[in-house]
Structure 1
């Protein structure tokens, strides 16, 4: 049985895709099966009227020549060969923006479920990313998902879905049925992720605030479940009285540690360096972080999604910067494969990165919708610090729960991600001698989460040289 965070050893190599954060199944057949079921439903039922935001999206596409060209061509640029051309059931992949709109219209009436297939049980945690999976990396898709007007429309659609995920109707996905989050496999994977950092064996009820006697464990909506909180004491604050100890801001897997990061860099190149000015949304305080140390970690689909302060100090500035939702770098190369056929179009000479947004995390820190919070630490050895919560994929809301001028203690809540993939960065200014970060492994999937509010790093001997 295929699980989102389980052993991938039994997945054939040709069907295995490494997904950072596991927001889409490691076995791509599970994702294809999920999409095929939705397409089959649309094919076998009368067309439904488009909801208001999807209808607006349709009118926007058809009323703008540039956008119409993008959304026509992106589907044509998907290579006409395996694995792009057909899914395991033999049905065609999405081939037009009209079909895309019909799928969006259907999905926005549902909360994410687990998918029970012949290949096992997996979780398509980001359904829009599943729909856009291949076209995001085509030349026209790359252009479209960078376009400010396209992103304004996507924000409208995602906000509408976000409203649905806060309704009681969305809690249907929290059932004990095979496709529910409290099913045997759903609960198993949730607890595997929650227990792993401290090597405990607690139940869901012991770790998270809930009412096990109530329907859906007392969660009123999907979003209520997604933003669930740990019980008091489950994640204690590291060295609360020692300001030289930095606390981990998010329950997350280490992704990268970069020192001497440039204020401005070409983040769209394959190396994906950090571009501090862009990451911090050109805020006037950005200049203080030239040559900064940047620690980045990503949150898994089954993890805890609230942010906590790495230090005690004063909130200097806090804002959400609107950005892209499905942009990824266009890392393509000429395909010289002998598998080309007469059906192959010129545009399919590009090889699509099937790992999608998950492999573009540094790039996304500069472009995706993100929350930026500057904190003046009480510890003068640290001084001004920056936290950036990056909304990936479906995230339409990065919610900040602190305000400018507020004094917070280490470990206090800063905000949260609402539904979707996510990553975050903590930035230290040049010459802050901060060491002891978690090990960064090349294969992030083999490294477990670092507990939120646990020790992330230590400032050495007064911090600044």
Structure 2
């Protein structure tokens, strides 16, 4: 892989496009060098329980240990200064569980996704494709992400919520993340937030996201931008295609008993950046017929021998089928619209997809139904066949983009056809 190819691969990563990773690899490489140095200086480091469990798993599972080492070795050929041993990887993971993302005014130096930074090169190689789909390894990473999420839920994580130049409440961050649109208590030292995650999934001012007054409108469940629209979605399809990213209802809806309702329907997928509002709302009024969270993959991406813009961020179609996600089916109170399925998808760092509704609940269009805690995210709306017309601009079917038309929660994205 040439340096040009590697740079292109990095530019296509979800975290980079979403604003969570540095704009170029220099900051990533410097971060790797520093953690390698610290790990080598502390060979007997004590790990938190979740990292200790991964260390124990690798010690007793020779197959997995070899797979991790092969991936590290292959990644080192891309970046000789990167993580070079299992101890260095474990040390880095342990370090991450006790830090909150720090704001930086310079986009070239922003490193808000430390785990994606750690795995940047491991995710870029063929052996990494296999490793991050390995269930025991993935489950161990989920355990570590939960530990990190617990820290980000704690008051201890508020140390980054201040008004200094590198604080999330400072003048630069307030401008970058449009904090004037959100509920912030500026008289409080931490903006009124009890944790970093409370800041991340902060509430928006209602007047900034008015509900579409058109009763025939299906409204967006989230803020973001259009990533993909796919028509005539099938129960089974090839989800590993890069140029034409498809959806398999059997995979994406993972056991929903009435999948046939959505066969032949269409999917509207959107991309959330780090600056977006990370709570999601009901696109239609109706009854919650089905609601559950599916724990699944987190760092798996499409792989191609050729470096292509369709990897990384543009793996979102694939990730909607295999990643941790929620499934919420709402039976619309409008028979013409039918059922609408809301699928919030966690990507990379995110391990917490929180539902605020249960089966049998009656919801109103625009009502909050859940939120993402810290990390990357995407959203799919799945519609029944010939029930709605997508009214937001979109590109060619199956070609995923991270710079599509902007959408806003509670604003129209589709309308009934009848």
Alignment TM-score > 0.5, same fold: yes
Task: Rate the CA distance shift 1:34–1:449 in 2: closer, same or farther, 3 A.
Answer: farther
Match of 1:306? 279
Task: Rate the CA distance shift 1:293–1:314 in 2: closer, same or farther, 3 A.
Answer: same
* TM norm structure 2: 0.91
Match of 2:224? 252
8 A contact 1:20–1:359 mirrored in 2: no
Task: Rate the CA distance shift 1:293–1:397 in 2: closer, same or farther, 3 A.
Answer: same
**Aligned length, in residue pairs:** 406
Structure 1 residue 23 corresponds to structure 2 residue 12 = no
8 A contact 2:238–2:248 mirrored in 1: yes
Q: How far did residue 53 of structure 1 move?
A: 0.8
Match of 1:411? 366
Match of 2:170? 183
Task: Rate the CA distance shift 1:15–1:275 in 2: closer, same or farther, 3 A.
Answer: closer
Partner secondary structure for residue 325 of structure 1 = coil
Q: How far did residue 355 of structure 1 move?
A: 8.2
Structure 1 range deviating more: 141-150 or 39-48: 39-48
In structure 1, how many angstroms separate the alpha carbons of the residues matched to 2:395 and 2:17? Answer: 14
1:55-74 aligned within 5 A? 55-74=52-71
1:69-89 Cα deviation digits (max 9, x unpaired): 211100112262xxx325xxx
Q: How far did residue 172 of structure 1 move?
A: 0.8
Match of 1:347? none
Match of 1:371? 326
Q: CA RMSD in A?
A: 2.3
1:382 to 319, 337, 344: 337
Match of 1:348? none
Match of 1:142? 129
Match of 1:124? 111
* TM norm structure 1: 0.82
Partner secondary structure for residue 77 of structure 1 = helix
Task: Rate the CA distance shift 1:141–1:321 in 2: closer, same or farther, 3 A.
Answer: same
Match of 1:345? none
1:332 to 305, 308, 328: 305
Structure 1 residue 94 corresponds to structure 2 residue 83 = yes
8 A contact 2:389–2:415 mirrored in 1: yes
Q: How far did residue 165 of structure 1 move?
A: 0.4
Partner secondary structure for residue 406 of structure 2 = coil
8 A contact 1:142–1:329 mirrored in 2: yes
2:184 to 200, 210, 213: 210
1:157-184 Cα deviation digits (max 9, x unpaired): 1111111001111011112333321233
Match of 2:147? 160
1:256-284 Cα deviation digits (max 9, x unpaired): 11111111101012232111111101321
1:453 to 391, 410, 415: 410
Match of 2:3? none
Q: How far did residue 459 of structure 1 move?
A: 1.4
Task: Rate the CA distance shift 1:354–1:443 in 2: closer, same or farther, 3 A.
Answer: closer
1:372-414 Cα deviation digits (max 9, x unpaired): 0000001111111111000111111100001111111100011
Unpaired segments of 5 or more residues in structure 2? 1-6
1:220-239 aligned within 5 A? 220-239=194-213
8 A contact 2:40–2:88 mirrored in 1: no
Q: How far did residue 35 of structure 1 move?
A: 3.5
Largest Rg, 1 or 2:
1
